[in-house]
Amino acid sequence: MITILGIESSCDDTSAAVIRDGVILSNVIASQVVHERYGGVVPELASRAHQQNIIPVVHDALKQAEVSKEEISAVAFTRGPGLLGSLLVGTSFAKGFSSALNIPMIEVNHLQAHVMAHFIKEHKSDHNQPHFPFLCLLVSGGNSQIILVKSYDNMEIIGKTIDDAAGEAFDKCAKVMGLGYPGGPVVDRLAKMGDPDRFTFSKPRIDGYDYSFSGLKTSFLYFLRDELKMDSDFIEKHKNDLCASLQKTIVDILMDKLFKASEELGIKEVAVAGGVSANSGLRNAFEEYSNKYGWKIHIPKFAYTTDNAAMVAISGYYKYLEKDFATYDVAPYARVSI
Ligand code: KG4
């Protein structure tokens, strides 16, 4: 029996989770509200909040899992990428926990962990995990990538954004409409009441499987600026249609390249991960492509779309099987690829 405690602290969520033989036992997430009034994450405040949260969050995760510290086989933690101060809290906690209990410590790449979330079993007889090779669209506030997943530890980025991430496009356009931060979930909610074909915004023309979202942001901004000159209530009057049309444009851009990759590589097993994978328009598009093109799709549970330690624990589980352990001189890294 292998029991892994996972720790995630790369940005503004402090999370701990317990996974036993690949099956989830608990996943506790403490989100930090302190950043809301600044319109974005403040790194120094994030690391202080992690310090306050980490012990109670781990305590809750063990309690919910009904597992004692002594039953943990190894502690897995996010080494990066992320905010250095935030990562330091999780890394230092993992070192202390590992040393006190004399158990191995396992470093996890945050981006790989998002992909690995698809291997979490809800119960012992859950066999819905993807088969290799598959494609994973990783879309969050900081990433928009198409990843070719060849095995648990062999992932290749075949397409990525050359400027803004998809989540940033949602958030920046939402900010222009005065929808607060992060605006992605608000756009999603309002889009449900709007007409996605009411307005059209420019789509990028980029080679290969790469993305670009900065042009869309500019086109959205200029469009609103022109309309507001004629009618100062334009945003208020058309909020739902604006959100629906914006969401459709972002989803179309994401799906076009993913479809191209799927066709050219002949891979019909396709997953989605990261914060933007909570978007209902994107989820619907996946269903549509599944019906139309016979894709076998993998859409994460909402709890695994944002940053969470369950994905770190499952990554740790597969690394444990390979005896891929970290040493005590391990330091977090802010920037790293898959
Ligand atoms: O992965 P994540 O929680 O954090 C990092 O980027 O690290 O992703 C957050 C991003 C934000 O840009 C947020 O606006 C977006 O995911 N997001 C959504 C939705 N839920 C979260 N975007 C569109 N629709 C949603 N339902």
Report the chain (338 residues): mean pLDDT per 10 consecutive residues. Answer: 98 96 98 84 94 98 98 98 97 98 98 97 96 97 94 96 96 94 95 98 94 95 97 97 98 98 98 97 98 98 95 98 97 91
Q: In a mutational test of the pocket of ligand 1, which residue from 170, 176, 192, 305 has the highest number of ligand atoms less than 8 Å from its CB? A: 170
Q: Is 276 in the pocket of ligand 1 (CB under 6 A)?
A: yes
Note the pLDDT of residue 101: 98
Range of the domain at 218: 134-300
Whether residue 139 is found in the same domain as residue 119: no
Same domain, 152 and 241: yes
Q: Are residues 186 and 228 in the same domain?
A: yes
Do the domain assignments include residue 247?
yes
- Let me know whether 310 and 206 are in one domain: no
The answer to whether residues 290 and 316 belong to one domain is no
User: Which residue, by CA, sits nearest to atom 7 of ligand 1?
Assistant: 141
Query: Does ligand 1 have an atom closer than 6 angstroms to the CB of 167?
Result: yes
Which residue among 112, 276, 277, 302 has the greatest number of ligand 1 atoms within 8 angstroms of its CB, and so is best to mutate? 276
pTM of the full structure: 0.95
CA max distance for the chain? 69
